[in-house]
């Protein structure tokens, strides 16, 4: 069965660029459409306000800044995908990261989810609270975890 739709979850930063490059590579070799998703973690901001570490006005500024950063980051991925002739769309969502990505993946008929390497889990609590871990465990479609940045760069350069 062809893999028509691939989704890549990105959080910004250097590691997400590698993840996105591998997703672009996969989309190109499998002739799939690629959707990149960035989620503004509203739950995190709400928790910070509840614990009184940040105040309301501060949280609103952070929320806006995160959204802007997400858009800029997705624009960067879009340019890379266009360069490699991959059909691409991007979306910025708000909410709890793993829940929003899983919902979007289901809505768009995603066949394969590409994500970065979740961190090493050292406590039982992290199994139930780490967004990367939750995304990996709860996704309804097959998940690819991107490792080995050098190899990814090599593969990415191979597609023209």
Partner 1 sequence: MERISEYLQKEACLMELKATTKEEAIRELSGHMARVGLVNDEQQFIQDLIEREKLGSTGIGHKVAIPHAPTQSVDGFVIGFARSSAGVDFAAMDGDEVNLIFAMGTNPQELSLYLQMLSQLSRLLRNETFRNELIHTAKTPEDVINLFKKFEKEG
15 binds partner 1 (CB under 8 A): no
Is residue 24 exposed (0-12), middle (13-18) or buried (19+ Cβ within 10 Å)?
A: buried
| Separation in Å, CA 34 to CA 31, 47, 127, 139 | 9, 32, 28, 17
Nearer to partner 1, 1 or 125 (CB): 125
> Are 133 and 118 a contacting pair, CB within 8 Å?
yes
Q: Which of residues 44-83 bind partner 1 (CB under 8 A)?
A: 44-45, 47-48, 51-55, 57-58, 62, 65-66, 69
Nearer to partner 1, 123 or 160 (CB): 123
Nearer to partner 1, 35 or 41 (CB): 41
CA-based nearest residue to 132, from 92, 88, 89, 102: 102
Nearer to partner 1, 3 or 48 (CB): 48
CB of 119 to partner 1, least distance (A): 6
Nearer to partner 1, 106 or 129 (CB): 129
Residue whose entry in the numeric block shows the structure tokens 């989620």: 39
For 101-113, the three-class secondary structure string (H helix, E strand, C coil) is HHHHHHHCCCCEE
Q: Which of residues 100-159 bind partner 1 (CB under 8 A)?
A: 119, 122-126, 129-132
> Are 22 and 155 a contacting pair, CB within 8 Å?
yes
Binding residue (CB under 8 A) for partner 1 from 6, 7, 9, 11: 11
Q: Which residues bind partner 1 (CB under 8 A)?
A: 11-13, 41, 44-45, 47-48, 51-55, 57-58, 62, 65-66, 69, 119, 122-126, 129-132
């Amino acid at each position: 069965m062809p893999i028509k739709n691939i989704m890549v979850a990105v959080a910004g930063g250097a590691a997400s660029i590698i993840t996105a490059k591998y997703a672009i590579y996969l989309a190109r070799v499998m002739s799939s459409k690629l959707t990149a998703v960035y989620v503004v973690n509203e739950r995190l901001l709400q928790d910070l306000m509840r614990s009184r570490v940040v105040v309301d006005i501060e949280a609103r500024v952070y929320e806006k800044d995160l959204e802007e950063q997400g858009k800029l980051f997705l624009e960067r991925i879009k340019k890379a995908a266009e360069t490699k002739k991959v059909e691409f769309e991007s979306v910025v969502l708000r909410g709890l990261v793993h829940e929003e990505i899983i919902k979007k993946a289901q809505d768009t008929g995603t066949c394969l989810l590409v994500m970065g390497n979740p961190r090493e889990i050292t406590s039982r609590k992290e199994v139930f609270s780490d967004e990367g871990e939750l995304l990996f465990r709860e996704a309804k479609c097959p998940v690819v975890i991107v490792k080995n940045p050098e190899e990814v760069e090599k593969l990415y350069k191979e597609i023209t």
